[in-house]
Amino acid sequence: MKAGNDAGPVAGAILYLLIGPIVWAAHLLLVYGPQSALCAFRITGTAAVDPWLISVLVAGVTVIAMAAVGLTLWRPRRMARLFRFNAASDGDRSFVISVMRILGVLSLFGIAWAGATTLLLDPCAQLR
């Protein structure tokens, strides 16, 4: 054991590890925020956006988010270089990469599940 620093920047490693959940969170923010605001505008009369545009928005954001996570799953080592992630040993590196990939798979599932609802529901319908 020698004194020293990590093999790469810490922020890059954390971001790399959490790419999937971060994209999932961004997706939720970007579908829920605009959809609920645009529906509220219809009620307050601020703006009257066609509901199908809201559905397209949700679907579009979902496709982009899935593509972003899919890219990290497909090319994990290229993404690692992008985030300047490195670890001192092969074991630690493969640990972080596999954690990142499985988190990505879970996030992909979450994004698809939430986004798919736009295919089934009227974007501004009330249940009561």
Partner 1 sequence: MENERRLDLPNQTPRPEGELEELERVWATPRGWRIVTTVNNTEIGLLYIGIAFLFFLMAGVLALLMRTQLATSDNDFIGQELYNQMFTVHGTTMMFLFAVPAVEALGVMLLPQMLAARDLPFPRLSAFAIWAYVIGGLVFFSTILYDLAPAGGWFMYPPLTLKEYSPGDNADFWLLGIGFIEISAIAGAVEIVVGALRTRPPGMTLAKMPIFAWSMLIFASMIMFAFPAVILATMMLEIERSFGWPFFTAAKGGDSLLWQHLFWFFGHPEVYIIFLPAAGLVSMMVPTMARTPLVGYRLIVIALIATGFFSFGLWVHHMFTTGIPALSLAFFSAASMAVAIPSGIQVFSWIATIAASREKFRITTPSLFILGFLFIFTIGGLTGVMVAMVPFDFQVHDTYFVVAHFHYVLVGGMVFPLFATFYYWMPMASRNMLSERLGRWVFWLMFAGFNIAFFPMHLTGLLGMPRRVWTYPGELGWDTLNMISTIGSYILGAGVLLFVIDLIRRFRPGRGGPENPWQAGTLEWLPNDVYSTRSIPLVTSREPIWDQPNLADDVREGRYYLPNAPTGGRETIVTSPIDAKPQYVIRMPGSAWSPFLAAIFTAAFFLLLTVKFVTIALVCGVLAIAFCLVWTWPLDHGPSRGPVDIGGGISLPTYMSGPTSHSWWAMVVLMFVAGSLYLSYVFSYLFLWTVSPEVWSPTGSPALPGLPWPAASALLLLAGSALIFLADRLLPQPGKGRVAVPVAIFLAVACLVGSLGVELAGHLRTGLAPTANSYGAMVYMAAALFGQMVFTLVIFGGYTIARYVAGKLDRERRVTFDNMRLLYYYTAAQSLFGLMLIHGFPRLVN
> Distance between terminal CA atoms of the chain?
65
- Residues contacting residue 88 through CB under 8 Å, at least 6 positions apart: 6, 7
Contact code string over 52-91 relative to partner 1, x by CB under 8 A: --x---x----------------------------xxx-x
- Residue from 15, 28, 64, 73 binding partner 1 (CB under 8 A): 28
**87: Cα separation from own chain's centroid:** 24
Rounded Cα distance, 25 and 18, in Å: 11
Q: Are 61 and 115 in contact (CB under 8 A)?
A: yes
- Residue from 19, 31, 65, 80 binding partner 1 (CB under 8 A): 31
Q: Write down the least CB distance from residue 75 to partner 1, Å.
A: 20
**121: Cα separation from own chain's centroid:** 22
Which residues make up the interface to partner 1 (CB under 8 A)?
1-8, 10, 13, 17-18, 21, 24-25, 28, 31-32, 35-37, 39-41, 44, 46, 54, 58, 87-89, 91-92, 95-96, 98-99, 102-103, 106-107, 109-110, 113-114, 116-118, 120-128
